[in-house]
């Protein structure tokens, strides 16, 4: 049924946000013990990222290559600019998935009147659980070669990339003491009474959420809850390393540009 599909999609999106919050809460409550680095007599083994390895491995390689070959000449600011440039490359790689998500959302909005008509027809009959209800809706999706769940992977992929980026940034020893403008150490939270990057992240994330249309037929309660997600993220991430905040803020700024174009192209 369409309503069930939309609810599943909304639940998956909300679950992705909540799982990411839980991931950070766990990392705060149970931080990993950092062992002393071995003597540089032998080549150090690459970090084991576990299930995030397919994403985290390429992200770390890209970040190190950008710092070594592009931004190293900037001195102490090199890792900050490397994070900014790598974030640009990551968002460039994610852009095709955002296009797919926008196309899917436009198709679902186009089909919504037909779905509403079918729902109204069966509600009038007083048998909303009739098997024919589901068959008719499934036939509509089949004719247009789509499904309410088709937008799940494009929507959840940025959360996986964000988790991978967090694992990468917390594992690069060179970030300790790395300077970037007013930030004295990218591996630590900002040493300011009021931290600038988390507040800017919340503001830009709210703008991204506002520009991103909700799935057609989504539960209004879920939509309202997702609207509060940036504030939840901001509270959880307020004490996280500045490097991660820099990544997320830069990503939000790039998403604002992308989402503005997508909104005009696939309105």
pLDDT digits (tens, 9 = 90+) for 83-106: 999 999 999 998 988 888 888 888
Nearest Cα neighbor of 20 from 152, 150, 158 is 158
Cβ(243)–Cβ(175) below 8 Å: yes
CA 19 to CA 34: how far, in whole Å?
24
- For residue 230, give both structure tokens: 């940036």
Cβ(165)–Cβ(60) below 8 Å: no
Nearest Cα neighbor of 4 from 264, 234, 154, 218 is 218
- For residue 11, give both structure tokens: 């639940």
- For residue 243, give both structure tokens: 């490097």
> If you average pLDDT over residues 104-112, what whole number do you get?
84
First to last CA, the chain: 25
Instruction: Please state which of the ranges 44-53, 86-95, 170-179 shows the lowest mean pLDDT.
Output: 44-53
CA 152 to CA 13: how far, in whole Å?
7
Instruction: Please state which of the ranges 77-81, 122-126, 234-238 shows the lowest mean pLDDT.
Output: 122-126
Q: How confident is the model at residue 33 (pLDDT cuts 50, 70, 90)?
A: very low
Phi, psi of 229 (to 5 degrees): -60, -40
For residues 225-248, one letter each, b for 16 or more C-beta atoms within 10 angstroms of the residue's C-beta and e for the rest, the string is: ebeebbeebbebbbebbbbbbbbb
The pTM of the full predicted model, rounded to 2 decimals, is 0.74
Residue 210 confidence (pLDDT) above 60: yes
**Burial bucket for residue 63 (CB in 10 Å: 0-12, 13-18, 19+):** buried
Q: How confident is the model at residue 66 (pLDDT cuts 50, 70, 90)?
A: very high
Cα–Cα distances in Å, from 38 out to 45, 49, 64, 78? 10, 19, 20, 25
Cβ(186)–Cβ(80) below 8 Å: yes
- For residue 45, give both structure tokens: 């083994």
Which long-range CB contacts under 8 A does 130-137 form with residues at least 24 apart? Answer: 133/1, 134/1, 137/1, 137/2
Cβ(131)–Cβ(106) below 8 Å: no
Count of residues in the chain: 267
């Amino acid at each position: 049924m369409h309503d069930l599909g939309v609810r599943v999609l909304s639940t998956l999106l909300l679950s992705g946000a909540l799982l990411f919050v839980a991931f950070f809460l766990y990392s705060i409550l149970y931080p990993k013990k950092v062992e002393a680095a071995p003597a540089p007599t032998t080549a150090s083994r690459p970090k084991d990222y576990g299930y995030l390895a397919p994403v985290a491995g390429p992200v770390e390689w890209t970040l190190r290559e950008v710092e070594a070959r592009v931004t190293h000449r900037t001195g102490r600011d090199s890792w900050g600019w490397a994070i900014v440039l790598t974030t640009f490359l990551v968002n460039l790689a994610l852009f095709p998935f955002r296009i797919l998500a926008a196309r899917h959302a436009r198709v679902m909005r186009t089909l919504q009147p037909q779905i509403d008509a079918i729902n109204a027809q069966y509600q009038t009959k007083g048998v909303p659980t009739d098997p024919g209800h589901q068959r008719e809706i499934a036939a509509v999706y089949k004719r247009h070669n789509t499904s309410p769940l088709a937008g799940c992977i494009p929507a959840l992929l940025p959360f996986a990339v964000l988790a991978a980026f967090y694992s990468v940034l917390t594992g690069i020893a060179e970030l300790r003491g790395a300077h970037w403008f007013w930030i004295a150490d990218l591996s630590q939270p900002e040493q300011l009474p009021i931290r600038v990057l988390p507040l800017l992240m919340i503001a830009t994330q709210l703008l991204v959420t506002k520009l991103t249309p909700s799935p057609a037929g989504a539960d209004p309660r879920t939509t309202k809850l997702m609207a509060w997600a940036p504030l939840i993220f901001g509270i959880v991430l307020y004490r996280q390393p500045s490097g991660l905040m820099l990544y997320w803020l830069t990503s939000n700024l790039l998403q604002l540009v992308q989402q503005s174009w997508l909104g005009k192209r696939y309105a």
